[in-house]
Structure 1
Amino acid sequence: MHGYENARWTKDKDYLVDNLTKEGADIMLEVANGDQQKQIAQAQTMISNGVQVLIVVAISQDEAAKIVELAHKANVKVIAYDRLINGCKLDYYVTTNSTHIGELQASYLTSLKPKGKYALICGSKYDGNSMRLFLGQMNILHPLMETGDIQLVYSEFTEDWSSAEGALHTKHIFEQNTDSITAILAGSDAIADGVLEVLEERGLEGKIMVSGQDCELDNVKAIMNGTQTCDILKPLKEMASITAELAVSLALKKPLKMKFTYESNGKALVKSILLDASIVNRNNIENTVIASGFHTSAELNQ
């Protein structure tokens, strides 16, 4: 894993370990805490210790290609989890469809306010999922921009998926726009936290629509109290289950039952599984977040 900078990644880890254990796998788990060279060294140690399949959450999608090269020298298969690894002959990729997520965010906000000034804070410029998210948002926004109903007044990628970046870009949005903003589409809940912080300082909480992604506990509570408009619930249990099944099938050389599409990583067409996420709003928290077991009703009402 690359690190646990938000609660979402702890859930990924728990679901993966649980599913791999159920499949009868022996698990080696290492966390690199945002250090790509450390992650490469951890992978090398795992390969030396006889691991059969590597599941990698890449820190740098380009530099992590070294892990794939090392693994292939030892006939070890690599599954990229959530983030594609670029520039190598990667074996498999399991993720949520980020283009679809962007479409969900933009569709929901434009259904509420089909006219106005929209701003995008898209996510880390170092994560390929950010570009896919942006493309999904633009699939929905562009036709409305062409009719003049929506003005895109800001669109930037961040240095990382943090609340500090969310706050910084929100300040830039207000520096560049003196009149009212209709919506800010934030790439993640951490970024949305920074957006909400600046809106609160300016007395604009609940007056500007804000989207997020990941359904962090505080953000779902923000939807309940009307300060955040919507969120994205990723199918983390399903992602973990499919990844575990794939990993164990590869280790045991069993036939693969899952269906694949292909994603290009610049060097190869990678066998990929892209899962769809769900939109979460004030009216469907019970049927999405709580029903999936992602958060309990008790946690949300604390």
Structure 2
Amino acid sequence: MHLSRRGLLYGSAGLAAVSVAGCGAGEDSPELTGFTGISMPTDTSERWVIEGRLLEENFKALGYEVLHENAKDVVEDQISQIQSMIDQGVEFLVIAAIDNTSLGGVLAKAKNAGVQVIAYDRLILETPDVDLYATFDNYQVGVLQATHIIERLGLPEGNGPVNIELFSGDLGDNNSQYFFMGAMDTLESYLYEGDVVIPSAQTEQEPTATQGWSGDNAQVRMDTLLDEFYKEDVELHAVLSPYDGISRGIVASLVANGYEPGEDDFPVVTGQDAEAESLKAIKEGTGQTETVFKDTRLLAGTVTEMVKALVEGRDPEVNDLGTYDNGFKYVPSNLLDPVDVTAENYQELIVDSGYLTEEQIDAGQA
């Protein structure tokens, strides 16, 4: 039915600093200054704008020179921006790839120039020239989303069968498969027992994928699913969505097709990234019911510490050596923990932690 995590070699989550071949600054290496290039993928999702800014501020606070670019969803621009950073002499590249199979050529040039490469949140594939990877436990993201559906629908109490539909992310983003695996492994026993039913029978990643993580694309697909599989007395109870932007497109489709936000029969809709607009809906009970929070301050801080360690000739801390295979090697990784956010705990996790203010959530804009 789906990819399983059982085939992955999962490293110990408790590993301390681990020596990463080719990453440490040896005794004969030239002195590093911390000159870092930051390549972000898009400005249509607020998290990448926020994280790019955080990284730049962190590195500048350490006295490092920084180049920061956002490729705005154009792969060719990301490649040319990275090449320009290499030409300007960066020592480190922190890259969140638009298409994680497109950067092999330019990263080979980076490696030839002695640049060390850190994949940021999205693993870069099909190249040996990635030194480190920093992300959240993306499998756990899917677990949290599926668990929210299971608990909200009362499946442990025997309230099935229920009808759900599945959405996954862009196929060009390696994280999509981990979100999907975590969710499907969590739902597996309920699917097997018939407590969860997927009327469309679309249970593989490819037919459920959302190109470009686009809410508009998600809305079109949700419209189609409702038209084809939810006529007459067939009721939709939940939609597994991997990302807030996709979730908002799904909610827009549900509303357009007669579902009333706030009513008891409005489907459960998951999400990810704790975007202000989605948090507003979660708080007010007007659509989406959950999001997975990946505290970007922690991720930016983790990558900052990786670069700082390398500059100082130390081994950067990683806690996973056997999960993230990029087609050439298992990339040494540092995985952070995502958390589940609902109307019941958003204030503690989001507002009290200083990530967003209540005013930003009420305005639906960070």
**TM-score grouping bracket, smaller chain normalisation:** over 0.9
Q: Which residue of 2 aligns with 1:184?
A: 239
Q: TM-score, normalised by structure 1?
A: 0.95
Decide which structure has the larger Cα Rg and report it: 2
Q: Which residue of 2 aligns with 1:67?
A: 106
Q: Which residue of 2 aligns with 1:30?
A: 69
User: Does 2:325 align with 1:264?
Assistant: yes
The structure 2 residue matched to 1:142, chosen from 188, 195, 205, is 188
Three-state SS of the structure 1 residue aligned to 2:297 is helix
Q: Which residue of 2 aligns with 1:279?
A: 340
Distance in 1 between the 2:133 and 2:91 partners?
17
Matches within 5 A, 1:243-254: 243-254=303-314
Kindly state the Cα deviation for residue 259 of structure 1 after the two structures are TM-superposed: 3.7
User: Does 2:169 align with 1:129?
Assistant: no
Q: Which residue of 1 aligns with 2:124?
A: 85
Q: TM-score, normalised by structure 2?
A: 0.79
Could you report, residue by residue, the CA deviation over 1:252-282 in whole angstroms, capped at 9, with x for unpaired residues? 4333344443310011111111211111111
Letter of the structure 1 residue corresponding to residue 311 of structure 2: A
The structure 2 residue matched to 1:210, chosen from 269, 290, 299, is 269
Three-state SS of the structure 2 residue aligned to 1:117 is strand
Distance in 2 between the 1:69 and 1:18 partners?
28
Paired residues, number = 302
Could you report, residue by residue, the CA deviation over 1:42-78 in whole angstroms, capped at 9, with x for unpaired residues? 2122112110000011111111122321111111110
Q: CA RMSD in A?
A: 1.5
Q: Which residue of 2 aligns with 1:14?
A: 53
Three-state SS of the structure 1 residue aligned to 2:134 is strand
Kindly state the Cα deviation for residue 151 of structure 1 after the two structures are TM-superposed: 0.8
User: Does 2:282 align with 1:223?
Assistant: yes
Three-state SS of the structure 2 residue aligned to 1:58 is coil
Distance in 1 between the 2:211 and 2:111 partners?
31
Kindly state the Cα deviation for residue 127 of structure 1 after the two structures are TM-superposed: 1.0
Structure 1 stretches of 5 or more lacking a match? none
Three-state SS of the structure 2 residue aligned to 1:79 is strand
Three-state SS of the structure 2 residue aligned to 1:241 is helix
The structure 2 residue matched to 1:173, chosen from 207, 225, 239, is 225
Distance in 1 between the 2:344 and 2:315 partners?
42
Q: Which residue of 2 aligns with 1:198?
A: 253
Deviates more, 1:230-239 or 1:33-42: 33-42
Q: Is the 8 A contact 1:289 1:295 kept in 2?
A: yes
User: Does 2:237 align with 1:237?
Assistant: no
Q: Which residue of 1 aligns with 2:141?
A: 101
Which of structure 1's runs of 4+ aligned residues deviate more than 4 A? none
Distance in 1 between the 2:309 and 2:89 partners?
17
Deviates more, 1:286-295 or 1:81-90: 286-295
Distance in 1 between the 2:253 and 2:214 partners?
14
Q: Is the 8 A contact 2:52 2:68 kept in 1?
A: no
Q: Is the 8 A contact 1:120 1:184 kept in 2?
A: yes
Matches within 5 A, 1:150-169: 150-154=196-200, 155=202, 156-169=208-221
Letter of the structure 2 residue corresponding to residue 112 of structure 1: R
Could you report, residue by residue, the CA deviation over 1:72-91 in whole angstroms, capped at 9, with x for unpaired residues? 11111100101111011111
Q: Is the 8 A contact 1:23 1:244 kept in 2?
A: no
